[in-house]
Structure 1
């Protein structure tokens, strides 16, 4: 059975909806700044002061300015939903209409949300607010503190009656959730699997911890957020956060053809592999293994891959290891750009968002630029630099890695 993707939905700091998102990517329009949402900066720091005036540099990233949600959702419903839930609904609405899921029996549609611990900032803000009046905590907190509340809200609004679940795989969650959706369709349990890469809503606790462990930047560019996100550049010092959520619809090619539903691409290969390491240390061997396994499953050679959307976070260790793994898999020849250089790192959403970025570039016949790639770690790769380029993509490799030694890869092939 051949598997394809028949719908995409996206909301991010650079745009909501696939058209706005693609144009921002091709134009290299980022939204990096100091984080301003309540609960994102350490309580003792004022967001309106410059990072230079702070004892600790302010956390930076890219935040969604506003979310456009369906008109039929009541204000009372929205008051008790988190940013992560609202982003999921926005993406689900877009993908539902594009893939014409109203024509599919509800019992044959499933929903997989990629990510865990998605609503941390929301929970911290509620706990801080009710610290001195705990007995007045709203009863909906009993549901809302769990990630399954996102599934509950989505399925209350859209007729999904098939299998539903959440899939936690750290920063590989979005892509691992897609693989879970593929397997549910292949098994015959579902006709269509809606996969959402959930928006991970960080609080100052997670920001501080991620900076302390050396994963999140930037102290080097503390006074210049526009320069801070630089995957694969020699001056990188960690990832820069970017709010995002993405959704795709997985179904068989036969199902799409029977419904006369256009598809973006076939998912021709996929793989997951574990490095067996709790620490955020990448494994070159495992990354190479997962790439080659996905390519082999697609019945392709490495030479057939003509575009790579890498994990590429801006981590000094992670970027170097990923390039070594790509070189070891004989993939230097393929065009490569870094979506996170424009969107920031969406963490649990990243794998799904970058699949969408790959599909939209495939459809457009263009590759977006890589921002701040002034001095690449290696000149042996076919980098897309500061300008977009035309490219008729045939076979793309997308990669996602997560804490806990989780590695995943997908091959997307043009029809």
Structure 2
């Protein structure tokens, strides 16, 4: 496959630690977090009168402030939007302005929203509110229960007339969206494409299911939420959820030069490889294969990579598998930190948001600290410690994995 001459020219981000790229970058480099027992309605199991007495849940996560909508959103739409919809519009608005996308014909602009089952908490709350009086359910529910509604609201507000669709890859969805957007531009289907990693709005049902599966962390740190999220640390016991949404704009480097846009980076290469199994457990050979394939597509050797932003969730098996894959691929020399230690695991948004973290660190010339990495699971890796490190990233590798055997990797390169 030929190397694609693509660039990332705009970003938008909504997170618990910072909303907007300036606030997000500052929070990253300062090592801030907002982990706590979650309080958003629908995140903790309600106590129901007349049922067996069960202790209330104390699921930990990082919750953001309500996103600020662009003024172009009609009031009739704004009052029916879910948290996922509001976050998507806020991210898209920032990325759109950042890349000055009004210069493109609407028919030549595409949109890919990464994620599926994005609005579960919204649906659970709606079901609870209207149970027994379903006939009074608001009509927009007939649209909003579908993930494609996010495409609908985004295309309406921003006048996008090119192809727009959702795509799922579990926790790799955001990076799958980036890859699909890159391929849309590289193939000439569109001139520019926006990839959004959608906010997966978990309810207590998903939190309980993920904990029962052994993926989400236990109550070990319920009395000390700041200590709960600890990717690659020997004391980790599962991932900690974090509300996230991110958007990146991809176009050709030639177009960026023509319109005098300064790219964040060149999108040098990417790969997606499946493990051919349904289960949530990771595959070392699959991760090795996707890293090697992305490097080959980018025309880079392992020695060229000087920074890796890993998937790193805090799962014991997942983290050990990923470190093993990086070691087998000859990447022990590259700086390694973990964005999830600050933001939490954004699930469907993780791949896009963490790519944005890479781009902002590249622009700032610093790598953000890794929180709670007190006893790394491997002493051979070049970890970024508890303080930011000055480093001019030249070639970075971003990894994102998902249940069902999804492995993705993206390489970005500093523009000359």
TM-score between the two structures when normalised by the length of structure 1: 0.97
Residues in 1 aligned to 2:277 and 2:320: alpha-carbon distance in whole angstroms: 18
1:86-118 Cα offsets, whole Å, 9 max, x none, are 000000000111101001110000010000000
Q: Which residue of 2 aligns with 1:50?
A: none
Residues in 2 aligned to 1:204 and 1:285: alpha-carbon distance in whole angstroms: 34
Q: Which residue of 2 aligns with 1:5?
A: 8
Q: Between Structure 1 and Structure 2, how many residues are aligned?
A: 409
Q: Which residue of 1 aligns with 2:270?
A: 270
Residues in 2 aligned to 1:319 and 1:289: alpha-carbon distance in whole angstroms: 17
- Displacement over 3 Å in runs of 4+: 54-57
Superposed, 1:172-321 pairs within 5 Å as 172-321=172-321
The residue matched to 1:15 in structure 2 has which SS?
coil
RMSD of the TM alignment (CA)?
1.4
Q: Which ranges of structure 2 fall in alignment gaps of 5 or more residues?
A: 49-53
Residues in 1 aligned to 2:109 and 2:116: alpha-carbon distance in whole angstroms: 22
The residue matched to 1:260 in structure 2 has which SS?
coil
How far apart are residue 74 of structure 1 and its match? 3.7
Find the partner of 1:18 among 18, 21, 32: 21
The residue matched to 1:80 in structure 2 has which SS?
coil
Q: Which residue of 2 aligns with 1:395?
A: 395
The residue matched to 1:173 in structure 2 has which SS?
helix
Superposed, 1:126-205 pairs within 5 Å as 126-205=126-205
After superposing the two structures, state which structure 1 stretch, 70-79 or 231-240, moved more: 70-79
Q: Which residue of 2 aligns with 1:49?
A: none
1:329-361 Cα offsets, whole Å, 9 max, x none, are 111000000000000000000000000000000
TM-score between the two structures when normalised by the length of structure 2: 0.97
Find the partner of 1:38 among 38, 41, 54: 41
Residues in 1 aligned to 2:365 and 2:35: alpha-carbon distance in whole angstroms: 27
Q: Which residue of 2 aligns with 1:101?
A: 101
**8 Å CA contact 1:218, 1:240 repeated in 2:** no
Residues in 1 aligned to 2:31 and 2:312: alpha-carbon distance in whole angstroms: 16
**8 Å CA contact 1:28, 1:342 repeated in 2:** yes
Q: Which ranges of structure 1 fall in alignment gaps of 5 or more residues?
A: 46-53
How far apart are residue 57 of structure 1 and its match? 4.9
**8 Å CA contact 2:45, 2:56 repeated in 1:** no
**8 Å CA contact 2:44, 2:57 repeated in 1:** no
Q: Which residue of 1 aligns with 2:337?
A: 337
Within the alignment, does 1:27 sit opposite 2:33 as a pair?
A: no
Q: Which residue of 1 aligns with 2:91?
A: 91
